[in-house]
A = this chain, B = another copy of it.
Amino acid sequence: MDDDDLRRGQPTVHRKWNEATAVLAGDALQTLAFELVVQTNCPNSARLRLCTSLAQASGVRGMVGGQALDIAAETSDRPLTLTEITTLQAGKTGALIEWSATVGPIMAQADTTALGQYARDLGLAFQIADDILDIEGDLETVGKAVGKDANAGKATFVSLLGLDGAKARAQSLVTSACDVLSAYGEDADILREAAKFVIARKS
Protein backbone atom coordinates (compact mmCIF):
# COMPACT_ATOMS: atom_id res chain seq x y z
CA MET A 1 0.00 0.00 0.00
CA ASP A 2 2.96 2.33 0.38
CA ASP A 3 3.94 1.21 -3.16
CA ASP A 4 7.55 0.66 -2.04
CA ASP A 5 9.91 -1.19 -4.39
CA LEU A 6 11.86 -2.97 -1.65
CA ARG A 7 11.41 -4.77 1.65
CA ARG A 8 14.48 -6.08 3.51
CA GLY A 9 16.48 -5.41 0.35
CA GLN A 10 14.25 -7.69 -1.77
CA PRO A 11 11.78 -6.56 -4.47
CA THR A 12 8.22 -6.31 -3.08
CA VAL A 13 5.67 -8.88 -4.32
CA HIS A 14 3.66 -6.40 -6.38
CA ARG A 15 6.87 -5.26 -8.14
CA LYS A 16 8.26 -8.75 -8.79
CA TRP A 17 4.88 -10.23 -9.81
CA ASN A 18 1.79 -7.99 -9.74
CA GLU A 19 -0.77 -6.43 -7.40
CA ALA A 20 -3.27 -9.30 -7.62
CA THR A 21 -0.56 -11.77 -6.60
CA ALA A 22 0.44 -9.52 -3.69
CA VAL A 23 -3.15 -9.34 -2.42
CA LEU A 24 -3.65 -13.09 -2.83
CA ALA A 25 -0.35 -13.91 -1.09
CA GLY A 26 -1.48 -11.76 1.84
CA ASP A 27 -4.86 -13.49 1.98
CA ALA A 28 -3.25 -16.94 1.77
CA LEU A 29 -0.74 -16.18 4.54
CA GLN A 30 -3.40 -14.69 6.80
CA THR A 31 -5.58 -17.77 6.53
CA LEU A 32 -2.55 -20.08 6.90
CA ALA A 33 -1.78 -18.37 10.20
CA PHE A 34 -5.15 -19.50 11.59
CA GLU A 35 -4.63 -23.01 10.24
CA LEU A 36 -1.26 -23.24 12.02
CA VAL A 37 -2.51 -21.72 15.28
CA VAL A 38 -5.21 -24.40 15.52
CA GLN A 39 -2.51 -27.09 15.23
CA THR A 40 -0.66 -25.73 18.29
CA ASN A 41 0.13 -28.34 20.90
CA CYS A 42 -1.85 -27.01 23.90
CA PRO A 43 -5.31 -27.47 25.44
CA ASN A 44 -8.30 -26.82 23.14
CA SER A 45 -9.41 -23.81 25.18
CA ALA A 46 -5.96 -22.23 24.76
CA ARG A 47 -5.97 -22.95 21.01
CA LEU A 48 -9.34 -21.21 20.71
CA ARG A 49 -8.02 -18.25 22.69
CA LEU A 50 -5.04 -18.03 20.31
CA CYS A 51 -7.46 -17.90 17.36
CA THR A 52 -9.63 -15.20 18.92
CA SER A 53 -6.71 -13.04 19.96
CA LEU A 54 -5.01 -13.43 16.55
CA ALA A 55 -8.25 -12.43 14.82
CA GLN A 56 -8.60 -9.37 17.06
CA ALA A 57 -4.95 -8.34 16.65
CA SER A 58 -5.12 -8.69 12.85
CA GLY A 59 -8.54 -7.20 12.26
CA VAL A 60 -10.29 -3.89 12.34
CA ARG A 61 -9.36 -3.18 15.97
CA GLY A 62 -5.72 -4.14 15.28
CA MET A 63 -3.50 -4.22 12.17
CA VAL A 64 -6.20 -3.48 9.60
CA GLY A 65 -7.58 -0.62 11.72
CA GLY A 66 -4.13 0.93 12.13
CA GLN A 67 -3.38 0.65 8.44
CA ALA A 68 -6.75 2.22 7.60
CA LEU A 69 -5.93 5.17 9.90
CA ASP A 70 -2.57 5.49 8.13
CA ILE A 71 -4.22 5.57 4.69
CA ALA A 72 -6.80 8.10 5.92
CA ALA A 73 -4.04 10.33 7.30
CA GLU A 74 -2.50 10.59 3.83
CA THR A 75 -5.48 12.55 2.55
CA SER A 76 -6.23 14.41 5.78
CA ASP A 77 -5.85 18.20 5.73
CA ARG A 78 -3.80 18.24 8.97
CA PRO A 79 -0.93 16.10 10.32
CA LEU A 80 -1.69 13.51 13.02
CA THR A 81 -1.21 14.38 16.69
CA LEU A 82 1.07 12.33 18.97
CA THR A 83 -1.97 10.59 20.49
CA GLU A 84 -3.33 9.71 17.05
CA ILE A 85 -0.03 8.41 15.72
CA THR A 86 0.42 6.31 18.88
CA THR A 87 -3.06 4.77 18.41
CA LEU A 88 -2.32 4.20 14.73
CA GLN A 89 0.94 2.38 15.44
CA ALA A 90 -0.50 0.40 18.35
CA GLY A 91 -2.85 -1.11 15.77
CA LYS A 92 -0.76 -1.24 12.61
CA THR A 93 2.35 -2.90 14.04
CA GLY A 94 1.85 -3.10 17.81
CA ALA A 95 -1.12 -5.45 17.95
CA LEU A 96 0.59 -8.39 16.24
CA ILE A 97 3.85 -7.83 18.17
CA GLU A 98 1.82 -7.95 21.38
CA TRP A 99 -0.05 -11.04 20.21
CA SER A 100 3.24 -12.82 19.42
CA ALA A 101 4.55 -12.11 22.92
CA THR A 102 1.41 -13.45 24.59
CA VAL A 103 1.27 -16.72 22.63
CA GLY A 104 3.59 -18.40 25.16
CA PRO A 105 1.56 -17.56 28.27
CA ILE A 106 -1.71 -18.30 26.45
CA MET A 107 -0.42 -21.78 25.49
CA ALA A 108 0.72 -22.34 29.07
CA GLN A 109 -2.56 -20.91 30.40
CA ALA A 110 -0.52 -18.43 32.42
CA ASP A 111 -0.96 -14.70 33.03
CA THR A 112 -0.24 -12.56 29.93
CA THR A 113 -0.03 -9.14 31.67
CA ALA A 114 3.77 -8.70 31.90
CA LEU A 115 4.53 -10.01 28.41
CA GLY A 116 1.69 -7.96 26.96
CA GLN A 117 3.06 -4.75 28.49
CA TYR A 118 6.61 -5.68 27.43
CA ALA A 119 5.42 -6.10 23.83
CA ARG A 120 3.42 -2.86 23.77
CA ASP A 121 6.53 -0.94 24.89
CA LEU A 122 8.74 -2.83 22.44
CA GLY A 123 6.26 -2.29 19.59
CA LEU A 124 6.13 1.45 20.11
CA ALA A 125 9.93 1.63 20.46
CA PHE A 126 10.19 -0.34 17.20
CA GLN A 127 8.04 2.19 15.36
CA ILE A 128 9.91 5.19 16.79
CA ALA A 129 13.18 3.52 15.71
CA ASP A 130 11.68 3.05 12.24
CA ASP A 131 10.93 6.76 12.03
CA ILE A 132 14.49 7.54 13.18
CA LEU A 133 15.92 5.18 10.52
CA ASP A 134 13.78 6.93 7.91
CA ILE A 135 15.80 10.07 8.75
CA GLU A 136 19.23 8.68 9.65
CA GLY A 137 19.47 5.44 7.64
CA ASP A 138 20.52 4.83 4.07
CA LEU A 139 18.67 2.62 1.57
CA GLU A 140 21.40 0.00 1.32
CA THR A 141 21.54 -0.71 5.05
CA VAL A 142 17.84 -0.24 5.84
CA GLY A 143 16.71 -2.39 2.91
CA LYS A 144 13.82 -0.11 1.93
CA ALA A 145 13.35 3.46 0.76
CA VAL A 146 14.27 6.08 3.36
CA GLY A 147 13.30 9.73 3.77
CA LYS A 148 9.90 8.81 2.38
CA ASP A 149 7.71 9.84 5.31
CA ALA A 150 9.58 13.08 5.95
CA ASN A 151 9.46 13.99 2.26
CA ALA A 152 5.75 13.22 2.11
CA GLY A 153 5.18 15.66 4.99
CA LYS A 154 3.71 12.85 7.10
CA ALA A 155 3.66 13.26 10.88
CA THR A 156 6.12 10.82 12.47
CA PHE A 157 7.46 10.41 15.99
CA VAL A 158 10.52 12.36 14.81
CA SER A 159 8.51 15.25 13.38
CA LEU A 160 6.43 15.41 16.58
CA LEU A 161 9.14 14.82 19.22
CA GLY A 162 12.29 15.96 17.38
CA LEU A 163 15.17 13.57 16.72
CA ASP A 164 16.60 13.74 20.25
CA GLY A 165 13.14 13.54 21.84
CA ALA A 166 12.29 10.47 19.73
CA LYS A 167 15.55 8.74 20.71
CA ALA A 168 14.95 9.48 24.40
CA ARG A 169 11.37 8.20 24.19
CA ALA A 170 12.49 4.97 22.44
CA GLN A 171 15.18 4.42 25.09
CA SER A 172 12.72 4.97 27.91
CA LEU A 173 10.28 2.48 26.36
CA VAL A 174 13.02 -0.15 26.09
CA THR A 175 13.98 0.39 29.73
CA SER A 176 10.33 0.01 30.73
CA ALA A 177 9.98 -3.12 28.56
CA CYS A 178 12.98 -4.71 30.29
CA ASP A 179 11.81 -3.71 33.79
CA VAL A 180 8.33 -5.20 33.41
CA LEU A 181 9.94 -8.63 32.96
CA SER A 182 11.56 -8.52 36.42
CA ALA A 183 9.44 -11.39 37.78
CA TYR A 184 11.01 -13.70 35.16
CA GLY A 185 14.60 -12.95 36.27
CA GLU A 186 17.39 -14.11 33.96
CA ASP A 187 15.00 -16.39 32.05
CA ALA A 188 13.77 -13.30 30.22
CA ASP A 189 17.22 -12.02 29.19
CA ILE A 190 16.69 -12.97 25.55
CA LEU A 191 13.53 -10.81 25.52
CA ARG A 192 15.50 -7.92 27.05
CA GLU A 193 18.12 -8.37 24.29
CA ALA A 194 15.31 -8.26 21.70
CA ALA A 195 14.00 -4.99 23.14
CA LYS A 196 17.48 -3.45 23.08
CA PHE A 197 18.04 -4.68 19.52
CA VAL A 198 14.87 -2.94 18.35
CA ILE A 199 16.41 0.50 18.88
CA ALA A 200 20.06 -0.44 18.16
CA ARG A 201 19.30 -1.97 14.74
CA LYS A 202 20.46 -0.25 11.56
CA SER A 203 17.89 -1.93 9.29
Chain A residues within 8 Å of B, Cβ to Cβ: 1, 19-21, 23-24, 26-28, 30-32, 34-35, 38-39, 44-45, 47-48, 51-52, 54-56, 58-60, 63-65, 67-68, 71
Contacts and interface: CB of A to CB of B under 8 A. Distances in A.
A26 B24 contact: no
Chief secondary structure at chain A's binding surface: helix
A67 B58 CA distance: 23
Q: State the copy count for this chain.
A: 2
A60 B34 CA distance: 13
Given A44-B48, A47-B48, A60-B28, A20 B55 contact: no
Nearest to A47: B48
A24 B59 contact: no
A159 to B, nearest CB: 23
Among A24, A38, A67, A68, residue most surrounded by chain B Cβ atoms (within 10 Å): A38
20 contacts: A1-B20, A19-B19, A21-B68, A26-B27, A27-B30, A27-B64, A28-B60, A28-B65, A30-B30, A30-B31, A31-B55, A32-B55, A32-B60, A34-B34, A34-B51, A35-B59, A38-B48, A38-B55, A39-B52, A44-B44
